[in-house]
Amino acid sequence: MTGFNSIFNINSGNDSSRSSSCSFRTSIGGQALIEGIMMRGPKKQAIVCRTEEGLVEKTEELHLLRDRYPVFGWPLVRGCVTFFDSLVKGMQALTYSASLVPLEDQEEPDKIDRWIQEHFSAEKAEKLIIYVAVVLGIALSLFLFIFLPTFLVSLLKPLTQSYLIRNLSEGLLKVVILLVYMSLVSHMKDIRRLFSYHGAEHKTIFCYEHGKELTVDNVRPESRFHPRCGTSFLLVVVLVSILVNATVRVSNPFARVGVHLLLLPVVVGISYEINRWCGMHDNWLSAILSAPGKWLQRITTNEPDDSMIECAIRAMELVIPEEQGTDLWGA
């Protein structure tokens, strides 16, 4: 995902000045993989991973639901569709990158994966494993950011006397959980490398938006903090949920969880529209809205080495559209 400029000096060195002089804003976005990068353009998606034999490339044409069913491109609706599609595509890309890891370094499949592999063909098993991983990921997110805050706050009677205080307490707990979770996983060795590839992705997108030639030397000095990042979007979702859930006037924790689940598509839809609007504007409001996400990227991105930048550059080159301007943000 890509971005808008900030009036806040949240980047180090000259990052702030570089990020404020974009020639244009691209809709091309990426995702860090296991020893690789996925870039997604308006028409194609590319995966480039580094293996012992060199770079491995995989490209595919994108077939978006909104192209077949215009209703999925409507405001608010498109946010939920894009979010779920990104989860599935992202998990597919991660699975593919994991398959390129040498066998001796691969982890043993868990019980669920082994059961699926034993009862289905290889092709169906791969798809099922991906969808199971997406479902489990969503379930974990719902537990951490809906179930856990609601029930923890319900145990503290002084916080439940006022709906306003209760909603704000639940929202604050969501932010704390997100920050603690991100901080903890960032200390894992494999995740640190993943976050370095994340930094390479951002730097490469910035270089492209600045109109520079995509070379390692040009990409290296760019900022690793990009305002239209996926992790920034997650933080926006949490913050928007605080405002939307402030309308909930239900005391029973189980009923509150149910209402929060019903409101989740609204939260995701609004968050997507905020991210989309900010990407098309450069003013004080967009700067304020972008700042928290950039702060979060101090945890979720690391400085990459040149080999990681090479992966990101190649992935970007594979998805840049032939027709100039068709990847403009908001087009």
- Tens digits of residue pLDDT in 284-304: 888 888 888 888 999 999 999
CB of 110 within 8 A of CB of 49? no
Task: Assess whether pLDDT exceeds 60 at residue 11.
Answer: no
How confident is the model at residue 102, as a pLDDT?
78
For position 12, what pLDDT does the model report? 32
Backbone angles phi, psi at 92, to 5 degrees: -60, -45
pLDDT for residue 187 is more than 60: yes
Q: How far apart are CA 202 and CA 32, in angstroms?
A: 10
Chain-centre distance for alpha carbon 231: 4
Q: Name the residue range of residue 168's domain.
A: 15-319
Of 18, 17, 14, 19, give the one whose Cα is nearest residue 293. Answer: 19
According to DSSP, the β-strands at 54-61 and 44-51 are: antiparallel
pLDDT at 7 over 50: no
- Is residue 290 included in any domain, yes or no? yes
Lowest mean pLDDT among 12-16, 170-174, 243-247: 12-16
Q: Tell how strand 54-61 and strand 29-33 pair up.
A: unpaired
Query: Tokens 């989860």 label which residue?
Result: 87
Joined together, the tokens standing for residue 91 give: 């998990």
User: How confident is the model at residue 106, as a pLDDT?
Assistant: 61
Beta-carbon contacts of 317 under 8 Å, excluding residues fewer than 6 positions away, are 214
Q: How many other β-carbons are positioned within 10 Å of the β-carbon of residue 134? A: 16
pLDDT at 201: 97
Is residue 51, in this structure, part of any structural domain at all? yes
Read off the pLDDT band of 328 (50, 70, 90): confident
- Residue 104: pLDDT band (50, 70, 90) is low
Please count the structural domains in the chain: 1
Residue 159's pLDDT is what?
A: 77
Angstrom distance (rounded) from CA 325 to CA 316: 15
Q: What is the predicted pLDDT for the residue at 331?
A: 63
Is residue 3 included in any domain, yes or no? no
Q: Does residue 9 belong to any structural domain of this protein?
A: no
DSSP letter assigned to residue 62: -
Is 325 a domain residue? Answer: no
> Which segment, 42-46, 75-79, 126-130, is predicted with the most confidence on average?
42-46
pLDDT value at residue 103: 64
Q: Which of 117, 113, 73, 118 is nearest to 91 (CA)?
A: 113
Residue 179: pLDDT above 80? yes
- Residue 146 burial (C-beta neighbours within 10 Å; 0-12, 13-18, 19+): buried
**pLDDT confidence band for 196 (50 / 70 / 90):** very high
Q: What is the mean pLDDT of residues 210-235?
A: 90
Checking if the pLDDT of 167 tops 70, the result is yes
Mean pLDDT of 257-283: 88
Structure tokens at 93: 């890309």
pLDDT value for 231: 77
Paired strand residues for 37: 32, 48
pLDDT at position 211: 92
Predicted pLDDT at 275:
83
Check residue 300 and give its pLDDT: 93
Which of the two residues, 2 and 154, has the higher pLDDT score?
Answer: 154
Asked whether residue 5 is domain-assigned, the answer is no
Residue with tokens 């916080």: 159
For residue 37, the surrounding DSSP H or E stretch is: strand 36-40
Higher pLDDT, 47 or 106: 47
Q: What is the pLDDT of residue 6?
A: 27
Asked which of 118-122, 134-138, 142-146, 161-165 is least confident by mean pLDDT, the reply is 118-122
Mean pLDDT of the chain: 85
Give the CA distances from residue 53 to residues 57, 101, 200, 308, in Å, rounded to whole numbers and listed in that order: 12, 11, 21, 15
Strand partners, 46: 39, 59
Does any domain span residue 1?
Answer: no
Does 272 map to a domain?
Answer: yes
